[in-house]
Every structure is written in C-alpha cells, then in structure tokens.
Amino acid sequence: MTHTYVLDGTRIHTLDDFWHHLGEAVNGPGGYFGRNLDALVDCLRGGFGTPDDGDYVIEWHQHDVSREHLGYPETARQLELRLARCHPTNRPSVSADLTAAREGRGDTVYDWLVAIFETQAPGVLLLR
C-alpha cells in the first residue's frame, strides 16, 4: 500500500513553515519530519514517520507558490541564521552564498528542498 502525504504550498511562506507542514502531513498535528536539511534526508530514508517497508508519495500542491516564498529573501534570512552559528572555517563559504542570495543569484531554499527530494525521495510530486 502506498501512503500519500500532501503539502499545501499556499501555506508555506518560510522554511519553518515547510518543516511544520511537512511534519504534520506525515505525522499528524505537532508531528516531526526534520527541522534541518540533514534531518530531512534522514527522515526521507525511512523510520521517522514514513513506512519502513512500504512506498510513500509526497504531493507538494501549489509548489509554485512555495517557490516564490522560499526564494532569495528567505534564502538570505536562512543564510544569515546559518552564518551566526556556523563553524568559523565555514564562514567564508556561507558569506559568499549570502552575498549571492542578496544579489538574487544561486540556489534558493526551494532549490535546496527540491534537490533533496530528487535525490532522496523520487516519490515527491510537484503539483500546481
């Protein structure tokens, strides 16, 4: 049996919204399904709400709305947070990414999430 989890992209305005709505879609109210990119990868591999022995699909409805909200302003905000807590040896790289995001260049938060879904969960459907 294939389980289907649905994300409503109109409700995802920030990365925090994404974590919240994905957690609830998979595990119900207050549910957890990762709160950072590494945790998301772990969760998509199974054992954290998705069936260990079954197939699942995540349908991201209205993903184009999320793409807009998870664009460069949100990316810059997330990189500012990352810069404040990253290891000193990572600061030049994060600073460069932050500069690019502020200039409207490079990958966005949306791109980060889609790349993870493409490599870790081919059952993610981006639906308009």
3-state class percentages of the chain: helix first, strand second, coil last, to nearest 5 = 55, 10, 30
Residues with pLDDT less than 70, the chain: 47-54, 122-123, 127-128
In this predicted structure, what is the pLDDT of residue 34? 82
Domain boundaries, the chain: 1-69+121-128, 72-107
Which tens digit of pLDDT belongs to each residue from 40-51? 988 888 766 665
* pTM as predicted: 0.90
Q: Cα 83 from chain centroid?
A: 18
Q: Note the CATH architecture for domain 1-69+121-128.
A: 2-Layer Sandwich (3.30)
